[in-house]
Structure 1
């Protein structure tokens, strides 16, 4: 919880205390979060057991759990049809029922842990065999291409990553984009002995379960079954010594690939690093695979592949090509200093091990309990910080959303959010914040007039999308959704096979349905039941999802100081991204273009250094009580959006405030309640391991500093709580871009 010391009201209430049921509930919730004995000028944030976002996610999960565990008739009986007149219900009931049963079947299969456990790790073996099979005969660019195509279809990223998105310089056209691959662990962990120790132990345990000749807790029957399944997949069991050596080669390979990767900080200017390269040229420069065959595998077969590819990682591709090319030369010597990577023969074996383990890591979540438990120590250290998996129903709801998010979004929206009336109200609130942003842009002193004109044009063109999709696909139309998900099948063989079907559908949807087809700005990227929001600079639009627009973050009947300090702030944060260190490089149509004048850009860079230093000086406790610093450069864009979002939300509140007074039983003014509710938005609890991983990889600061940082920069906060100059929450030096 965070601390608030009651103080004199800076805005005297004009009306008596609000006594509506909504105000009573909001007051009760706030009392649970406030420590009246703490000094708000010292630290406005202290850890709490739960926070606003977690509360919403928990409630959303419960809505979806009861939906999936009931019948379609139960679902219909639990919704208010009068508020959903724009949704097809009775006129497409049969199709709606079929859609419901499809995603419910997915959920039930995921929940059937006994059936999943009975198969052990065997379902992943054919997926490994499909990749390693072509490489067993010989290792050359053609067999490597075959392996890479198969891994791409499994969404396993090893040597590089490929996406299909709008061309940054030509947003009306889809293009292939080549990027360096994601790593299994943060790059910094390779120089962290504790992390590497846990990583290695987890990998050894994982391979022991999948390939071991005598895995822990094995019965002779289980060992025989595993041996048989391995034989069927043309794979072999591994001894303890072989597993140990395989893991060592994998870590050396991944560590070496990480050393070839470019630091993302090098790419802060996307215009400078934007590059087009023809397919002919990329084949000449990087011949380690057959690029034409690879790109054709991602089209529908009848559509010609584009003439060019977009990529920003030329240095990485130069490095990886030099390394891989040496593997094709019998007498070659690789650039690596690692003993297992210096000869073609050792390099080939290391790459096979690398591919194999990356496949297992990719699919471990869909395998049996024993396999998942083997990987759990690494998840604890690098990802979650929790020693236990979330409840199975929460995981299956998440996986169902990943697989069929628009179907899940329909049933969630109808059950929890509402219809057109609610969507229109949410859009109206977004528009209020957008109008406030216009006023802020006009008064920005470090913008010169040409830049102000361009900023206003961009702000005016921001597309507002709220709650759920009404275009592609249309959440209101069961027939449209059925057609959308028709290629995705629920396998009777295994949960993993269902997941591979879902993955293939995603790849088809993201690549084969885009290349050669016109760009549609109406395609949604997120499942509406997610607790999330985003600004898409490529299409210059803001999307606020239905799953986020719920109590306690958003209650339509709440006083305006509560609405605008929570969801209003989130909206303002996302809109601010249009004008931050990333938004400066995209114009009103989403095209890469430096629309700031040189003078404005120079002024901004100087002001940005203040944020980099401020947030870089924030510290937190990592594992073993080791003090760690935030990365002010990594989090710059989000820190600016957090600070700017607070300013815009506060200004919108003040502009629209209609005189509502205090909440019952709370001696806090509307302005104080605005800041209290803002703090509640980010209350959360993290384990040290999770905090460390987030600080290494997440563009957002840790939650504590998403509260304290913006508030330290906002003079009105210090004025409201009468914080002395020089106190922790009212430092003399403040960072400001938007005022």
Structure 2
């Protein structure tokens, strides 16, 4: 009898064990596949309809997931004639633009000063009749007062009175660019991010270096040349003289481009700290104290020889000196005035804008001019960004979104911390520093509360006045106001939490600050394809979650890793760990560099894009793990109606949708040649293909295109 009871007990225990195993398997399957329930709320129905508009289900997701997730969107969405591409982000920005236009047009005349200034600027921009009569005479008088553009003055121009430095000093007083030979600005000091410093760098160019160095055989260089001739003729220059003299200026710009460091080398170029006195001793071709004081014009501050300065590319200075010393004065003057003239085109009558469009047809593929209201809305709202931001948030932003976005940030940051803890290639000291940096990272979401305080806006714009009735002159006053506002802070410590530094709600915007060790997500990005309170979390973690993960990972990419938890540039990586990181990063560089973009027959530049690629790969991983953490705390979510995909699969589909993009061929060439991001397709197929989680969720066999045998991973 006793033996029988023991056997019975064993059978019961075996049955209980089998049931517990079955329960665990079922629970695991439910966790992976989600509930079999269907969400039928209006939000879910709308989300499902949007997904179906994007997807091409005839494509095998294990062959090309981008074409699977975005194929129908690319096929059925037309690029507007006034755009260079179409993408979900552009559609959101266009909606925001219309909303801002309504805000401006509905502002009462008795509005507070910040809003009144915004409306005044918008109306001045829209008044094309006044622009037609005022802009050209104003600009030509400006040129005359500065000694005259040789091309317009012909034989009356006297080179004996010309000094390129003195001309730049005059231009600075009129808010014109002055970086034609050397760039000078006030920025954050790298090794001590609580301080500001004067930064000296390479020249700015009118066309990307990558095209200029190819010379006149390059199609874009030819178009650039035609454009500058067209504009000079509209200002009154002789056509034949323009062809000759502007060719000389373009040859000068090509020489400057050839002494500028390429982007892939500039990424790792050391920044050298020097005293102004030492700078003059080494490079006396410029009277540096005079030059800095006249280019920056810092209110109530005079720069002396004892001032510290950060030099971006020291080798550039002797090279640009040689270029300048071997160039005739007339060519130097023509070059400066030609650059000034092209910068002024936006403030000129329609015939100038039409010539710019002719150039942009070649440069970007843009077919038609954008509506004037778009141009003026953008200029008014960007120029008065705090006023436009406050207006937008008050009227269009749902404040509850901030709470949900913060929850997603917390989940994803927690998963990034876990990922750091599990990184077996990092030594203990470097890992501890990395964990401290991740924990110290500040998140700014939507907008700062101070933005909605009217007194703050009144104080910020207190010294700004638009007294001229000329649009071009009003823009000059605005530029001078903001230059003074920035430059007068040279001696002030950096307040990294200052609300004005984090108050740009309307555009679709997200970024990581190296010196601030902070991530920021505008109100504009917390909508549409990125985020919606009324749809399942797997779509939000796949949308804005991937962006959040991307920006967090930037703190640990090839450049971000060089800044510590305080935002200071420092070497906090142990040698072997640094070597391991570089090896992992090289895998990413080589992997992306092997992809050819067939539309333009160019390979992706794996070096220039490595920071974004590291962030894409790390971001998608921690966003996915963040969603799994949310599911673990809550119940598995229901599926979308009319779709067969599990919540995990929908995460990947939603993540792909934020990269759906349809650029014109000309725009694609620009991006691949000069951009820091790879085209949208490669922001999906490469990082998703590097993910074992993706391969598991879509059952992609090892060796398929979306589950390659050889994968790359930094984080």
Name the TM-score, length of structure 2 as normaliser: 0.87
Distance 1:442 1:637, change over 3 A: same
1:656 aligns with 2:656: no
The aligned counterpart of 2:351 is 370
The aligned counterpart of 2:676 is 699
The aligned counterpart of 2:194 is 172
Distance 1:130 1:440, change over 3 A: farther
The aligned counterpart of 1:520 is 495
Structure 2 CA distance for aligned equivalents of residues 240 and 267 of structure 1: 38
Structure 1 CA distance for aligned equivalents of residues 139 and 64 of structure 2: 49
> Mean alpha-carbon deviation: is it higher for 172-181 or for 693-702?
693-702
- State the secondary structure of the residue aligned to 2:193: strand
Is the CA contact 1:381–1:690 (under 8 Å) kept in the aligned structure 2? Answer: no
Structure 1 CA distance for aligned equivalents of residues 242 and 178 of structure 2: 21
The aligned counterpart of 1:68 is 104
Query: 1:397: Cα distance to partner?
Result: 2.1
Query: 1:301: Cα distance to partner?
Result: 4.4
1:354 aligns with 2:335: yes
Distance 1:736 1:435, change over 3 A: same
Structure 2 CA distance for aligned equivalents of residues 301 and 18 of structure 1: 61
- State the secondary structure of the residue aligned to 1:69: helix
1:285 aligns with 2:282: yes
> Mean alpha-carbon deviation: is it higher for 121-130 or for 552-561?
121-130
Is the CA contact 1:51–1:680 (under 8 Å) kept in the aligned structure 2? Answer: no
Which segments of 5 or more consecutive residues in structure 1 lack a partner in the other structure? 1-7, 74-93, 212-237, 327-333, 335-340, 342-346
The aligned counterpart of 1:244 is 243
Is the CA contact 1:145–1:290 (under 8 Å) kept in the aligned structure 2? Answer: no
Distance 1:172 1:630, change over 3 A: same
The aligned counterpart of 1:427 is 406
Name the larger-Rg structure. Answer: 2
The aligned counterpart of 2:314 is 314
Q: Deviations over 1:93-121 (max 9, x none)?
A: x7x63322221121122222333234463
Of residues 646, 667, 671, the one that matches 1:690 is 667
Q: Deviations over 1:374-412 (max 9, x none)?
A: 122332333x32122222222222212331111111111
Aligned pairs for 1:246-645 (under 5 A) are: 246-269=245-268, 273-297=270-294, 298-305=296-303, 307-324=307-324, 326=325, 334=326, 341=327, 347-382=328-363, 384-419=364-399, 421-470=400-449, 474-512=450-488, 514-523=489-498, 524=501, 527-621=504-598, 626-645=600-619
Structure 2 CA distance for aligned equivalents of residues 711 and 687 of structure 1: 25
The aligned counterpart of 2:88 is 52
Query: 1:632: Cα distance to partner?
Result: 0.7
The aligned counterpart of 1:121 is 136
Q: Deviations over 1:206-264 (max 9, x none)?
A: 111112xxxxxxxxxxxxxxxxxxxxxxxxxx322111112201110100111111123
The aligned counterpart of 2:689 is 712
Is the CA contact 2:159–2:330 (under 8 Å) kept in the aligned structure 1? Answer: no
Is the CA contact 1:430–1:571 (under 8 Å) kept in the aligned structure 2? Answer: yes
Query: 1:181: Cα distance to partner?
Result: 1.8
- State the secondary structure of the residue aligned to 1:682: coil
Query: 1:42: Cα distance to partner?
Result: 1.9
Is the CA contact 1:209–1:374 (under 8 Å) kept in the aligned structure 2? Answer: no
- State the secondary structure of the residue aligned to 1:568: helix
1:36 aligns with 2:57: yes
Is the CA contact 2:146–2:170 (under 8 Å) kept in the aligned structure 1? Answer: yes
Is the CA contact 1:9–1:669 (under 8 Å) kept in the aligned structure 2? Answer: no
The aligned counterpart of 1:733 is 710
Distance 1:354 1:619, change over 3 A: same
1:189 aligns with 2:165: no
The number of residue pairs the alignment matches comes to 653
Q: Deviations over 1:145-185 (max 9, x none)?
A: 33223344323420111121111112121100011122111
Q: Deviations over 1:576-617 (max 9, x none)?
A: 011110112111111111211111111111111221112112
1:107 aligns with 2:122: yes
The aligned counterpart of 1:86 is none
Is the CA contact 1:10–1:669 (under 8 Å) kept in the aligned structure 2? Answer: no
Of residues 163, 175, 182, the one that matches 2:185 is 163
Q: Deviations over 1:25-68 (max 9, x none)?
A: 11111111111222212222243524321221122112111111
Query: 1:131: Cα distance to partner?
Result: 4.4
Distance 1:150 1:41, change over 3 A: farther
Distance 1:564 1:150, change over 3 A: farther
> Mean alpha-carbon deviation: is it higher for 645-654 or for 17-26?
17-26
Q: Deviations over 1:491-529 (max 9, x none)?
A: 5432211211121122112212x1122211124166221
The aligned counterpart of 1:3 is none
Distance 1:562 1:301, change over 3 A: closer
- State the secondary structure of the residue aligned to 1:157: coil
Name the TM-score, length of structure 1 as normaliser: 0.84
Structure 2 CA distance for aligned equivalents of residues 621 and 687 of structure 1: 13
Distance 1:456 1:197, change over 3 A: same
Superposed CA RMSD: 2.3
Distance 1:127 1:701, change over 3 A: farther
Distance 1:565 1:261, change over 3 A: same
Distance 1:361 1:509, change over 3 A: same
Query: 1:620: Cα distance to partner?
Result: 2.0
Query: 1:130: Cα distance to partner?
Result: 4.9
